[in-house]
Amino acid sequence: EFYPNPVHDKATLELNTSKETNLNVTMIDLLGRTYGIVNRNQKLVKGKTVINFDFTSIPSGNYIMSVKTKEKSVTKNIVVIK
C-alpha cells in the first residue's frame, strides 16, 4: 500500500512479506528518467515493513514506482503535486 496519492511532500509504502527478502524500489518519470527515491537491495524481515519517502525534491508530475521483491513485482502510478 502506498499513500497518500497524490503526494505533496512525504509518502509511505507499507509491505507485508511472508519471509525475509530484498526490496528494490525505483521511481521513474514518463520519459524513463530515474529519480532519487530508490531503495536497492534493502533487507526486509518477515512481516510488515513501513518505508517513508521524501518527495520534496521531486517536481510535480506523473511517475511510475516499481516495487520488487523475490516474491512479487508491483508498479504504481504516482502523482506529485506541489
Read off the C-alpha cell for 41.
537491495
- pLDDT number for residue 30: 93
Percent of the chain with pLDDT over 70: 98
In angstroms, the CA 61 to CA 52 distance is 19
Tens digits of per-residue pLDDT, 45-65? Answer: 899 999 999 999 899 999 999
The widest CA-to-CA distance across the chain, in whole angstroms, is 37
Q: What is the pTM of this model?
A: 0.84
Contact (Cβ atoms closer than 8 angstroms) between residue 3 and residue 47: no
State the pLDDT confidence band at 38, using cuts at 50, 70 and 90. confident
Burial 9-32 (b: 16+ CB within 10 A, else e): eebebebebeeebebebbbeeeee
37 confidence band (pLDDT: 50, 70, 90)? low
